[in-house]
Structure 1
Amino acid sequence: MAGNNVVIIGGGIIGLAVAERAARAGRGVVVLEKEEDWALHQTGRNSGVIHAGPYYKPGSLKAQMCVEGNASMRRFAVENGIPHEFTGKLIVATSEKEIANLKELERRATANGVPTRWLSAAKAHEFEPHVSCVAALRVETTGIIDYGAVSRRLAETAAERGAEMVLGAAARAIRSENGKIVVEHSKGVVRADVLVNCAGLQSDKVARMAGLRPAARIVPFRGEYFHLSKEKEHLVQGLIYPVPDPELPFLGVHLTKMTDGSRHAGPNAVTALGRESYSWAKMNIPEALGDITYPGFLRMASHNIPVGVAEVLRSFSRKRFADSLSRLVPGIEARDLTPSPAGIRAQAIARDGKLVDDFLFELGPQQVHVLNAPSPAATSALVIAEHISRKAGLLDS
């Protein structure tokens, strides 16, 4: 798939990282972003965590790219003066029945090359004096960062190297013409040798626009966040996570120290009524109907009714949200939580109802489509960009 000119649809952290990498290789680059600024969706609305990689199945792309991505993001932050801190984190078992799953995380971490330490409750209190647990896994290489700042720097660097960065440019049509990929957008037309689709929440729609029949459909899951009150910030020193459900790709409601010193709580995971529906009040009925009537979603939902109901109830009850947090750190109450902007996870679901558990890339003629890149995609963005750039033939072999 040789070519020295690429059009990238999507200006989140992955699209911007691909633009920077391709521009650094001397390629002609055009980035089309439908919003009026960079990284306004998944990238700019997450917990800001540099993940270490203990969760992911050994041998998966997530496992490989997270470990490499952790190191590359650390280097990028240092070289570019991006606010960050390697706080480490605790994954805590709050009851004996969670020990087996915590042990499985320890096994995966070892297989993935992630350094961890098994801690007793007493040892866990040396890191988090107020945590409630029977045991914990300490992950030293977890950090926090401002991914919005990372994205802005990637955009600046790509532009400095000659990339054309176009905001407010929504893709309208994609076709092949005389050996070129032609993208019609709201501000004009771009012709390129290669198309890279990094459209996140809209990635499956872009793939269909380009003539593909993607193997999975994006279904949006909204994650709601809260800020912890100043009076309770002292209860959380770094990052505190529960033991996640091994059958689901979500990590559970957790507590996170942010780069500005505040403490973030969340997210839950409820089906969003639209790809960009950041609250129950904002919905896109045609999109929602398309998503929830998709056979894969119906199959997935039918097997997860109790979990889904619990998440919806927690979405409508700050007390339930606080109760989830107080399992980790007793003393957190509903009055200690102030709403923070929600995020939406672009989760790919296959037609058989299985949640796509790994990064998913699909190729078309002169095309690379990123069709599943949720967490730890931000952590792994620079490594993913290298991977995509090679698949697209944008780097010299």
Structure 2
Amino acid sequence: MRVEDSAGENVSNTVEGMKKFPVLALLVAVTVTTTLVGCTDNATDQAAPTSEITTTTAPTSTSSVAPTTTSTTPANPELRTKVAQLMMVGVRNFDDALAALEQGAGGIFIGSDTEAAILTTPGRDIAELHNRVGRPFAVSIDFEGGRVLRHPEVLGTFPSPRTMAKEKKPEEVRGMAYDMATSLARHGITVDFAPVVDIDGAGLEVVGDRAFSDDPAVAAEYASAFAQGMLDGGVMPVFKHFPGHGRASGDSHLGTVVTPPLNELQNFELVPYRSILATPGVGVMVGHMATPGLGDGKTPSSINPAAYQLLRSGSYEGGRPFDGPVFTDDLSGMKAISNQLTPQDAAATAIIAGADQALWLTTDALLPAIDTTMKRIAEGALSEQDVFAKAERVSHYQR
């Protein structure tokens, strides 16, 4: 995920008064024509094509969720509901979150741009979202410690992973992560996109003190302790960024990045994954780095089927299969993806490639993403059986 104040942090939202329908309106067929973009990692300044959407008149609201549209494919309400569960979107405030959840989103993301009132204001908080929506959903955040702490004024301040590893024993870090998790859970957050498992092997600023160590064995030990503390406190930890950003050619927030070849990752970046994935109840986030030797070697891992197959199969040296939930990194604010794909096309492509939940930092493209994924399913790119299996994995961390 993003570093505080990075290029990926400035996510635009639409103006007040956007239109929305309640959940039942998702079942009404309205024509939408979507222009799909090819999967590529070439990061340029050229804007990605947008979808052309035909909508009908709807009541106004204060959310930024786009007007309701439906796919040109035959209506399948149950399938569409499951597809919507595979979407996790960043929200601005309570109203934006409520609109997204009413339209079926499986989760919301609390970012630095989210109004803190959603964590603190009775009747306008996450507990009230549960009251109004009446179904389980996930609430996620980036809460690593150090420079990546969303809303520390509410949730607390904690040292960076590097400082944790230097100054504390693993069992002490487990206790600190427990304290972090209890604070998150008390405010309604259920998923933490942490700990970072990247190895600080190239001095990249985007990694730096977000990594526990430049030693894979040390990083694995402390990441495991952190993850267990999160679980102890009732929050699901998510290891990131598979297959490893530590020695990438640059910052994926800013453009295309390439890791060392896969055969080199196996003895460095992938070493922690040999052990940490044995922890039950954890998730994994797949990053946007291209890896030579992984698929075509050019496609970012988050939209590369070969990356998900590597994770699921554990077919790297000392690896183990992983059957837990898999997330994408941000698909809207990181240029390694956003320079090439709209959020809706990136979300559909990532889910088809192997992600269980596609993450991006605005509600704007929620319904187009559902439509695009439904269209790709109708075209045979993904089976309904696979969608239901993904939704089942997602359901285990929705509350």
- Structure label with greater radius of gyration: 1
Q: Name the TM-score, length of structure 1 as normaliser.
A: 0.26
Identify the structure with the greater strand proportion. Answer: 1
| Larger RCO, structure (CA 8 Å, separation 6 or more) | 1
Q: Name the TM-score, length of structure 2 as normaliser.
A: 0.26
